[in-house]
């Protein structure tokens, strides 16, 4: 904000008057041990700076991730468990096409059991079934699970759906809004016929 205000005052000296300030996003959420400010503390700090610099321009903020990031989860089922080179893997039916952030730039998403299995907890890398070494959803998760169990990948509301794809010919997942004891399907699971409907056909 201090740097933005320096620009504002420089523009004023040149006779250019702004009508508002848009400082964009930048307000993060907790994926792991991060400690971003709460929205009220963030806004208070901004307003204090504006007041101290005697700037009364309207302020626009775009805190999208802070609003929706932790509101979304990815529900996935454990297909099977395997060991390789002292690593334990939980292979699930979701994949990097459903949640690209971990594979693309190593983003961390916590994974929890819907209902922990009656087994000793083990440290797993949670991975998808796509034939890519980057196809993982989360690493080093302590889980009590068995094949067939459901897992919740947390904090996917900000970029999960927007970055999803049909990579490896995988239809996109359904999207469901949960409201108390009710749910609403807002996007149906894609079918294979939808996936191929734009493909060209050979002439007779």
DSSP lists the bridge partners of residue 187 as 175
> What are 126's two structure tokens?
């949670």
- DSSP assignment of 146-188 equals -TT-EEEE-S-TTTTTTT---GGGPPPPPEEEEETTEEEEEEP
CA distance 49 to 69: 27
For 15, the 3-state DSSP assignment is coil
For the chain, counts of helices (H) and of strands (E): 5, 10
Catalytic residues: 131
């Amino acid at each position: 904000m201090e740097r933005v205000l320096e620009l504002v005052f420089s523009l004023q000296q040149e006779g250019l008057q702004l009508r508002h300030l848009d400082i964009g996003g930048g307000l993060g959420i907790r994926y792991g041990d991060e400690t971003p400010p709460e929205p009220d503390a963030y806004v208070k700090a901004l307003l204090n700076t504006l007041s101290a610099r005697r700037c009364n321009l309207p302020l626009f903020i775009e805190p999208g991730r802070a609003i929706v990031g932790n509101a979304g989860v990815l529900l996935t089922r454990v297909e099977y468990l395997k060991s390789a080179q002292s690593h334990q893997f939980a292979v699930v039916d979701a994949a990097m096409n459903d949640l690209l952030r971990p594979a693309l730039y190593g983003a961390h998403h916590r994974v929890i059991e819907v209902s922990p299995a009656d087994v000793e907890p083990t440290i797993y890398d949670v991975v998808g079934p796509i034939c890519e070494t980057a196809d993982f959803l989360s690493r080093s998760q302590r889980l009590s699970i068995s094949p067939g169990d459901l897992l919740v990948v947390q904090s996917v509301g900000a970029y999960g759906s927007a970055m999803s794809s049909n990579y490896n010919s995988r239809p996109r997942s359904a999207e469901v809004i949960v409201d108390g004891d009710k749910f609403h399907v807002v996007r149906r699971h894609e079918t294979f016929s939808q996936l191929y409907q734009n493909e060209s056909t050979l002439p007779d």
